[in-house]
Amino acid sequence: MDFPCPGCGAQLHWKPTAGAMECPHCGTTVDDPHAGASVEFEEYRLDEAATAAPRGWGEERTSRSCEACGAIHEVDPAEKAGSCPFCGSVQVHEEASGDVISPESVLPFAVERTDAVRQFRGWLGGLWFRPSSLTGSAQIESIAGVYIPAWTFDARAHSQWQAESGEYYEVEETVDVEENGQTVQKTRTVRKTRWTDAAGTHDEAYDDWLVQASGGLDQAALKGLLPFELGSLRPFDTSYLSGFKAERYAVGLQEAWGVAENEIGGAERNACRKLVPGDTQRNLQVRTTFDDVRFKHTLLPVWVAAYRYEGQVYRYLVNGHSGKAYGDAPYSKWKIAAFIGFLVFLVLGCMGAFGAFGTVGALLAR
């Protein structure tokens, strides 16, 4: 990508806090042409994806694949090969870009690298059950701004449900009980359930259901960064990528729709469960069909910090637009063992105290 500075000719980079392109040498800024503009993104029908969705990145790109974690990055051909931002591996090789669906939109970075590093240091210092030396010993191997691929889906869902609806009622029952060695009859109130068949339908329109498509991060990691403000999406423009990396999707469109279909199906099941009348229910069955399924391909900003502690690489992630963070870190076996020992000590201490009170009570009763 070539974005020359109008002031000195150097390469312009996207400046998150400025929301504009900025020259790192002379400070010249170039405004975001899409800022403040109302944009209607075209969402393509899923069943027409093979012919309707545009392909490529709009310019020459080089793909670099990580042999360790499987992430594929789309970079400027002039960029030198380096380590993978997701796992720190140097086993990165070039490959053909392939026939990929073009990104439809992008959520620009709004969090600076220095802020992400500051959050990382604060996060390390606030961890429980972690090694005491972690804050001082953890070394950032790399921190990179990466645009993570994702799919969003729109769909109309129609669900038919049936279940057994239960209503509580109470009856009086006479039962035999033992009292002082004798059998006596007593009356008690018993709650019972009257079951009847119930059925109905539920219709819902879902908009921008998000499914991440990264090969370097898993679903749990990306969900830890939610939400991404999709209302702030911009039309895809390679200027937003200047100074950052971009990952090519590893989760294909049909596979991603399978994830969304399963998740939306779960949402429909929960919605139908709430429609079953009565006090309780059982044997809920839901059949959901989808209509007018549409999608778009978007890129989401994430700061990825790979840090090393005692030879092991861990990751810390920051939502590049909102600043929300998610990370993993080593546990201290000694701190956990000490905490468990403390709990055992408290339990035994309480048991001893109760025993002492019981002895004192017995003495006073005499």
Would you list the DSSP string of 94-112?
EE---S-BPP-EE----S-
* Tally of CA atoms within 13 A in the half-sphere of 325 that contains its CB: 17
Q: Measured in whole angstroms, how far is the alpha carbon of residue 152 from the centre of its chain?
A: 14
Q: What is the band of 137 on the pLDDT scale with cuts at 50, 70, 90?
A: very low
Structural domain boundaries, residue 205: 56-162+197-337
- For the chain, give the mean pLDDT: 80
Residue 24 lies in a domain: no
> What is residue 293's predicted lDDT score, i.e. its pLDDT?
96
Q: Examine residue 190 and state whether it is found in any structural domain, yes or no.
A: no
Residue 30 CB neighbour total at 10 angstroms: 17
Mean pLDDT of the region 171-185: 85
pLDDT at residue 269, rounded to an integer: 98
Q: Are 181 and 38 in contact (CB under 8 A)?
A: no
* pLDDT for position 97: 57
Q: Give me the mean pLDDT over the 65-81 stretch.
A: 66
Q: What three-state secondary structure class fits 65? A: strand
Instruction: Determine the Cα angle at 217 with ends 212 and 223, to 5°.
Output: 55
In terms of C-beta density within 10 A (0-12 exposed, 13-18 middle, 19 or more buried), how is residue 120 classed? buried
Ranking 57-61, 99-103, 143-147 by mean pLDDT, the lowest is 57-61
Q: Answer yes or no: is 29 within a domain.
A: no
* Cα–Cα distances in angstroms (integers) from residue 187 to residues 77, 168, 192, in the given order: 86, 19, 16
Strands (DSSP E) contained in 180-279 are 182-212, 234-235, 245-248
Percent of the chain past pLDDT 70, that is, above it, reads 71
Distance CA 149, CA 220 (A): 15
Alpha-carbon distance of 277 to 272, in angstroms, equals: 10
pLDDT bucket at 268, cuts 50 / 70 / 90: very high
Q: Which residue has the higher pLDDT, 17 or 261?
A: 261
Q: 118 lies in a domain?
A: yes
% pLDDT > 90, the chain: 34
Can you read off the two tokens belonging to residue 58? 């709009």
- With CA atoms as reference, report the closest residue to 100 among 67, 64, 53: 53
Domain-embedded: residue 81: yes
Residue with tokens 């423009």: 237
Report yes or no on 201 lying in a domain.
yes
| 3-21 average pLDDT score | 83
Q: How many distinct structural domains can be found in the chain?
A: 1
Taken in order 339, 340, 342, 347, the sign of the CA dihedral is positive
AA letter at 356: A
Residue 335 has pLDDT above 50, yes or no: no
* Residue 91 domain flag: yes
For 329, residues 6+ apart whose C-beta sits below 8 A from its C-beta are: 124, 127, 130, 134, 309, 314
Tokens of 149: 């691929």
What is the average pLDDT across 211-238?
87
Partnered with residue 313 across adjacent β-strands are: 308
In a domain, 114, yes or no: yes
For residue range 311-326, list pLDDT tens digits in order. Answer: 677 778 889 999 888 8
pLDDT at site 207: 95
